[in-house]
Amino acid sequence: MKIDIIFANFMGGDILKTINNHSLKTFILDLKKKDKGRIVSNYGGWQSNYLSVQENVLKDLLIEIEKNLVPFGQALHLRKEFKLKVEGLWANVNGSGAVNTPHIHNRSILSGVYYVTHPENSGNLKLMNPNLFNHVTFSFMGKIETFIETPTPFTTNNMEFAGLPGALVIFPSHICHYVLPNLSKEVRISISFNTTLIKEVKKEDHEKEKINA
């Protein structure tokens, strides 16, 4: 019998080498002093409210993120008039012991995170397979075991991403994910974001719509 792949997920990662992380770190830590932030998935850490995309310090990062969204649009075979664009972004500061509990990002196409700092042992990002059957284990003589001999993309239950300063990772927003505890004595600083789709209308098409109206 021929076996077809009918549904699939993906993620992408890159190291951005042109971003001024020192300026981002200063901006975020200064903001933390003035803004008590919000609690969403963060436990023990600080998360900012939405940042303005007009902030000059974020300009280069936004350009690089949207440049890296282009291959995702190609992989999704978006119609040429549609484009993935950053819709909202926020900063995270996770000190020793801080975690982010499992969550998804509603009303978003793709989500991602950029690591301004990522000290060793400061907590990796984990993506969970949406097929909950892949998280099933069984107990045999007091030992927890899995039923899979060799993990494959069909059966892997978690994908772990070890961040590095300057690392950018992007993944579908519906994938449940969380961040392991920061076991270092230094803070991990990151910027998370969501995306949306915008439709670019040609000037001549816009004129036609005005005439038809």
pLDDT value for 209: 55
Which helix (H) or strand (E) is 128 found in, with range?
A: strand 125-128
Tell me the two tokens of residue 147: 């039923």
Give tens-digit pLDDT for 21-80. Answer: 999 999 999 999 999 999 999 999 999 999 999 999 999 999 999 999 999 999 999 999
16: confidence class by pLDDT, cuts 50, 70, 90: very high
* Length of the chain in terms of residues written: 213
- The span from the CA of 198 to the CA of 126, in Å, is 29
Give tens-digit pLDDT for 111-160. Answer: 999 999 999 999 999 999 887 666 666 566 667 667 777 878 887 888 89
* pTM exceeds 0.85, yes or no: yes
Q: What is the DSSP string of 58-123?
A: GHHHHHHHHHHHHHHHHHTT--TTEEEEEEEEEEEEE-TT-EEEEE--TT-SEEEEEEEE--TTS-
Which helix (H) or strand (E) is 192 found in, with range?
A: strand 188-199
